[in-house]
Structure 1
């Protein structure tokens, strides 16, 4: 009972206006005076009781009150603003509300209840409160008709008053709220958070403005709504808190618009961060769950994933459209709603919603899926797989609302995206569909860019693979490992190159080079130079002559193409190249450079040195001659060739440390050197070639000096046959004797100086004849009536390849024969 009494007293404090009450009899005589009236007018009770109320008013308003009394208008009540006189003579403005009463208990002068009417006047100072110029009735009407909800709660956070607008949010009428807490009025609402704000205002006195709360209220139980609330503490005359005054405004539309903008901002940040089709599709799915949907799938045409142009839709034999699941996301772990495994094929039948969307390019939305459960069971291949069995309607999973939006960019349909709601009870609406179309439209452009990039990158990689060695050739001169890292990460193309070229006599040529520029232009220029180097290498020219011919070709090409060169020509001028030849028989190494290079040599004991290689001019620049550096390398020496990009962010000392560190394999060594010196995304292309030199064993090389005597040809054949017998190559004796006979005979007949015969057993059987003559023999096709000229023709028919190699002291004519597998096994055993 005590608590109810206190609550009634508290509510009564809210019901009494902040005004000084006066009691006036029927003649306008003041019969009751209070301390509030004394503070307002300055008169003590002794000076004003028994006097006319006109004493308190200005003359003009005193006459006004007299006329009102004569016309008995106060019997119906009256309110307004009057001009009053303070005891000290100054004028004050007061708001007055006059209420008639017949209760005898209100006056000591007229105890008879049947006496004429008395009036209660509520007077308050309006001098500094212009907003109170209107009557209380008007103010009550304003709060009743206000578009925002207004309420007052006491210090126990129980309702003591609310306006009619608050009823729109549910919870009953205003008089039904009185004495209840917010949780009792709005069950299910997160009332604790709101009451925490009220308590904060009661404790601190600081108002809380525009506090936004999102939840479900009784008036809209199936949809989240947002409300902006402001809280202000109410105090009594002593400044003690007596409650909280708060306002509520529905800002759901503003909240949804802000949410949509936030989702769009997030989409702009997260979708399209990579040029990968699947990754982009998954980014779309991650953005929309759970912001827009509870479950989403993205199905793309298989041609899109391959980077190809999408073909006509629905052209299958059964009118189906094959789609591949590219991404999916759910609010539930494990994605239980998934209808097709990632990477599986979904073939949607013609006439189902997905195909209509694909063909028309228009979105499709169904707020309630129950009527379409049968149609969707047919549309999804095999029904819903996994633990739900086959042919399970979508509604069985609780998916009650769906949107299907085509993934279209630049007028091309790439696939479809499907949005489902499960946990949220509110279905998709037009705003949700508009947002989904905006998100999918942005993602579609990124998917199409990724598709185009995939296609172009695949083409670029094909070009790159055709320009660089796909695999290193087999040879016994050196163990080789290469690494390549282009600066253009997107295309994987660059202007640097490397090459390993087997030469005659079991030798090998090691090449690195670079041209200006990256991407397609740099790769095209690099391809031209690499092809030229390989062509010149087949001529068995020394390194300086190879570079001299390459320099002439670049300069001539630049002159012929003029001031507007074609693709790649600008990059070839000024290009650089390092050409190294290693001979595994003698251990000799010859190298020449066009431009500045710093090859490193790592001795078998780990010592790293940089040979003083003469710096030649860049290709096509000034035509100065190139110089050759001749070295003799011990077996096991590692030659490190690289382009400038390797040391773009590292020093030669760092290269020495990386090369000197022993590694279990040359491949691992090359990778570690690249990773330790070059960044993952270098600013310049990087080409690295490591070659560990080998020596052919002495028993696999046989050499004889022959006099220029035709009678010694037969002896040369016998010597060759004996050597082949030692190597277990008797099967090749006849062919090799023929080759030796023809080559030695030609040298005796047409050359001068000493003649030397050498047999080398490598991966092929190599026969070489050296003489001092400067001219090379030419292959002829003799007529049937010719008696001679068939020697080289026979050699070309019986051997794998043959050629001429020029030396400073003469030339070498050589021929190679292929070895059968069983012969190779015998030779290597």
Structure 2
């Protein structure tokens, strides 16, 4: 007897409770016999609505719920029958009847029923419809996957591939991404509504089918026929869920897509524009086919979020491409287009793609038939790196005109980089460039064909690979100075090594490339004849030798081959430290220039230059005194002595008897300067030779 109502039997109350549960409870209640056949069930569940309960009595549970996973539900229920272990909150998928059938999720709990003698009577099963909860969880997982996977690469095509990989098959059976063709090249996207006839490139396609049909292949650029749901979405920037029913009025306009839809058994299309700030970037088309449920309003809202994230990734990639293109253009304008011609040094540049716009190379003609080779690399990316590179390259060329030793030139270049870094650090707080450190690597090498040597200094770990005529490949032991612009205040040092005629030097702006060429130098060693082989072929051999991920596309590379300077084109004389040496130098100069066929006017000017320079060396210099004449692209006169004291140009007064030597030299010469060495100095002057090229 119940305490609340002594007059009502307990069995009667329990029966009333069961009746209420089986008729009005939103929770699916099922009594199953040991063969998993229905004994009793309620009709409140979506799977049983509109069906008389007696129609299911005696039928297997699989007839009530058309399981997506086949007999998975029966397997877990039989396990409960056999073991007696309850099944708690197990998720199964089932299809309800209707057109089209709807896929729903149920959370089932099953308990084994026994009588007093522990004989198994069957199962009590509850089923709760958790479709909306599971769909929400599934959508959250898809959104999380897209946020993690999409937009990692700064490439619009790769971004599309990342999106379709994250959506198929978890969210759609087929996914297609198309991007406005001009956006792929980095141009500004067109404003909405998208102008008719705007070409789009199909950048990504993915399907769950083994051999999916496609309207047209990935990579093809096409104009969308109109009007279709695709062009309408790009016109008003609104997503659309479109049932794909045969005979839709827009289908004849786009027969290729229509055929692909029908061939893949697609029944629903969800088309979402890729847009950012009312500008059109592209389009995402999602399809569900076969027994997959149609897209609903929740799917449409999720697709909008996915498209917004993807559009941001594509726009970031577009901006990167645009900046990369501008930086590469600036880099090409700042770098020499082709190597300068040098009598004793043949050079070739390996093309730079702009992958590292801060990389630069240069070859500079110096006095005394020497050549400077420069390779460097500025930290950072984009236009700022290219601009800084241009500044440093200009400074190097300006300093090279002063005939500075490599270590001294890099020390002064280091001071310039520190000033540029200071200016950058004092930019306004909101300028992102302020947070980027400015450092650079650089190698400055001077090849002297008359001495057969190369002297270099490095900022950072840059050193050349040297291949001598016998095919011996080495990397000179070069002291590494501090990176340009770094706070480290270490001195720069020089290294000198012999480079006999026929040697090949490979300078790169990337130490990893240099190390690989030195350690895996089969291509360099296999060159059959360095003396005659075109340097362009050797550049190609170097590019082919580099493995993937270590290409020369991001590095500045100079390949130089040394030649013997013609012995007939230079002479050197040792002079005594007395006044008679002036006349001797003039006489020898006149005779040598006559042998070279130099015209009388140039010869007369050269003799006067020789007189003044030798006079200065005799009066103010220290023995030994040497004079050297070099016939190269220009005619060079060099006077060397052991004194480190530098003469300087001055304008003598009218009554002065001397002091006009360097002034006269500067007037007669095309260029002049002073070059210092450990054993003294060299004063030189150059004159043009019209018949030399």
- Compute the TM-score of the two structures, normalised by the length of structure 2: 0.73
Contact 1:148-1:247 within 8 A present in 2 as well: yes
- Where relative contact order (Cα < 8 A, 6+ residues apart) is larger, the structure is 2
Pair 171,154 (structure 1): closer, same or farther in 2 beyond 3 Å:
farther
Pair 633,278 (structure 1): closer, same or farther in 2 beyond 3 Å:
closer
2:454 is aligned, of 578, 582, 589, to 589
- The alpha carbon displacement at 1:231 in A equals 1.4
Superimposed CA distance per residue, residues 489-510 of structure 1 (whole angstroms, 9 cap, x where no aligned partner): x98455x755433335542213
Partner secondary structure for residue 2 of structure 2:
strand
Pair 221,313 (structure 1): closer, same or farther in 2 beyond 3 Å:
closer
Superimposed CA distance per residue, residues 575-595 of structure 1 (whole angstroms, 9 cap, x where no aligned partner): 775532111233033345679
Contact 2:356-2:555 within 8 A present in 1 as well: no
Superimposed CA distance per residue, residues 121-145 of structure 1 (whole angstroms, 9 cap, x where no aligned partner): xxxxx7xxxxx68352343233232
Partner secondary structure for residue 81 of structure 1:
coil
Contact 1:307-1:455 within 8 A present in 2 as well: yes
Q: Determine the structure 2 residue equivalent to 1:204.
A: 83
- The alpha carbon displacement at 1:233 in A equals 0.8
Is the counterpart of residue 329 in structure 1 residue 206 in structure 2?
Answer: yes
- The alpha carbon displacement at 1:190 in A equals 5.4
> In the aligned structure 2, how far is the partner of 1:241 from the partner of 1:621?
84
Contact 2:192-2:237 within 8 A present in 1 as well: no
- The alpha carbon displacement at 1:720 in A equals 1.9
Q: Determine the structure 1 residue equivalent to 2:631.
A: 759
Pair 575,174 (structure 1): closer, same or farther in 2 beyond 3 Å:
closer
Contact 1:544-1:626 within 8 A present in 2 as well: yes
Is the counterpart of residue 804 in structure 1 residue 669 in structure 2?
Answer: no
1:364 is aligned, of 237, 240, 244, to 240
Contact 2:173-2:288 within 8 A present in 1 as well: yes
> In the aligned structure 1, how far is the partner of 2:519 from the partner of 2:191?
59
- The alpha carbon displacement at 1:238 in A equals 1.8
Is the counterpart of residue 320 in structure 1 residue 197 in structure 2?
Answer: yes
Pair 622,749 (structure 1): closer, same or farther in 2 beyond 3 Å:
farther
- The alpha carbon displacement at 1:201 in A equals 0.8
Matches within 5 A, 1:160-559: 160-165=39-44, 168-169=47-48, 173-184=52-63, 192-218=71-97, 222-312=101-191, 319-336=196-213, 338-349=214-225, 351-373=227-249, 375-378=250-253, 380=254, 383-384=255-256, 398-424=265-291, 426-467=293-334, 473=340, 475=342, 477-478=344-345, 492-494=356-358, 498-512=361-375, 524-543=387-406, 546-547=409-410, 550=413
* RMSD across aligned positions (CA): 5.3
- The alpha carbon displacement at 1:407 in A equals 0.9
Partner secondary structure for residue 300 of structure 1:
strand
- The alpha carbon displacement at 1:207 in A equals 1.0
Q: Determine the structure 2 residue equivalent to 1:81.
A: 2
Superimposed CA distance per residue, residues 538-595 of structure 1 (whole angstroms, 9 cap, x where no aligned partner): 4545446645765776788899x79947999999999775532111233033345679
Partner secondary structure for residue 102 of structure 2:
coil
2:603 is aligned, of 741, 757, 761, to 741
Contact 2:445-2:457 within 8 A present in 1 as well: yes
Please tell me whether Structure 1 or Structure 2 has the larger radius of gyration of its CA atoms: 1
Partner secondary structure for residue 326 of structure 2:
helix
> In the aligned structure 2, how far is the partner of 1:663 from the partner of 1:641?
16
Q: Determine the structure 1 residue equivalent to 2:535.
A: none
Q: Determine the structure 2 residue equivalent to 1:694.
A: 562
Q: Determine the structure 2 residue equivalent to 1:727.
A: none
- The alpha carbon displacement at 1:625 in A equals 9.9
Pair 341,738 (structure 1): closer, same or farther in 2 beyond 3 Å:
farther
- The alpha carbon displacement at 1:452 in A equals 1.8
> In the aligned structure 2, how far is the partner of 1:562 from the partner of 1:368?
59
Contact 2:665-2:685 within 8 A present in 1 as well: no
Pair 345,747 (structure 1): closer, same or farther in 2 beyond 3 Å:
same
- The alpha carbon displacement at 1:531 in A equals 0.9
Pair 814,672 (structure 1): closer, same or farther in 2 beyond 3 Å:
farther
> In the aligned structure 1, how far is the partner of 2:173 from the partner of 2:367?
70
> In the aligned structure 2, how far is the partner of 1:595 from the partner of 1:737?
48
Partner secondary structure for residue 401 of structure 1:
strand
> In the aligned structure 2, how far is the partner of 1:296 from the partner of 1:556?
53
Q: Determine the structure 2 residue equivalent to 1:113.
A: none
Pair 301,228 (structure 1): closer, same or farther in 2 beyond 3 Å:
same
> In the aligned structure 2, how far is the partner of 1:720 from the partner of 1:455?
56
Superimposed CA distance per residue, residues 101-140 of structure 1 (whole angstroms, 9 cap, x where no aligned partner): xxxxxxxxxxxxxxxxxxxxxxxxx7xxxxx683523432
- Compute the TM-score of the two structures, normalised by the length of structure 1: 0.63
> In the aligned structure 1, how far is the partner of 2:59 from the partner of 2:434?
87
Superimposed CA distance per residue, residues 795-820 of structure 1 (whole angstroms, 9 cap, x where no aligned partner): 99xxxxx6435452432425466878
> In the aligned structure 1, how far is the partner of 2:83 from the partner of 2:387?
75
- The alpha carbon displacement at 1:237 in A equals 1.4
Pair 576,262 (structure 1): closer, same or farther in 2 beyond 3 Å:
closer
- The alpha carbon displacement at 1:306 in A equals 1.5
> In the aligned structure 2, how far is the partner of 1:260 from the partner of 1:625?
61
Pair 411,513 (structure 1): closer, same or farther in 2 beyond 3 Å:
same
Pair 193,658 (structure 1): closer, same or farther in 2 beyond 3 Å:
closer
Partner secondary structure for residue 71 of structure 2:
helix
Greater alpha carbon shift after TM alignment, 468-477 vs 346-355: 468-477
- State how many pairs are aligned: 637
> In the aligned structure 2, how far is the partner of 1:372 from the partner of 1:133?
60
Greater alpha carbon shift after TM alignment, 807-816 vs 690-699: 690-699
Superimposed CA distance per residue, residues 191-218 of structure 1 (whole angstroms, 9 cap, x where no aligned partner): 6222212210111000112222213233
> In the aligned structure 2, how far is the partner of 1:187 from the partner of 1:609?
74
Contact 1:300-1:324 within 8 A present in 2 as well: yes
> In the aligned structure 2, how far is the partner of 1:271 from the partner of 1:573?
31
Contact 1:614-1:629 within 8 A present in 2 as well: no
Matches within 5 A, 1:40-189: 80-81=1-2, 97=9, 134-165=13-44, 168-169=47-48, 173-184=52-63
> In the aligned structure 1, how far is the partner of 2:475 from the partner of 2:523?
14
- The alpha carbon displacement at 1:363 in A equals 2.1
Pair 215,362 (structure 1): closer, same or farther in 2 beyond 3 Å:
same
Partner secondary structure for residue 54 of structure 2:
helix
- The alpha carbon displacement at 1:273 in A equals 2.0
Partner secondary structure for residue 209 of structure 2:
coil
Is the counterpart of residue 664 in structure 1 residue 526 in structure 2?
Answer: yes
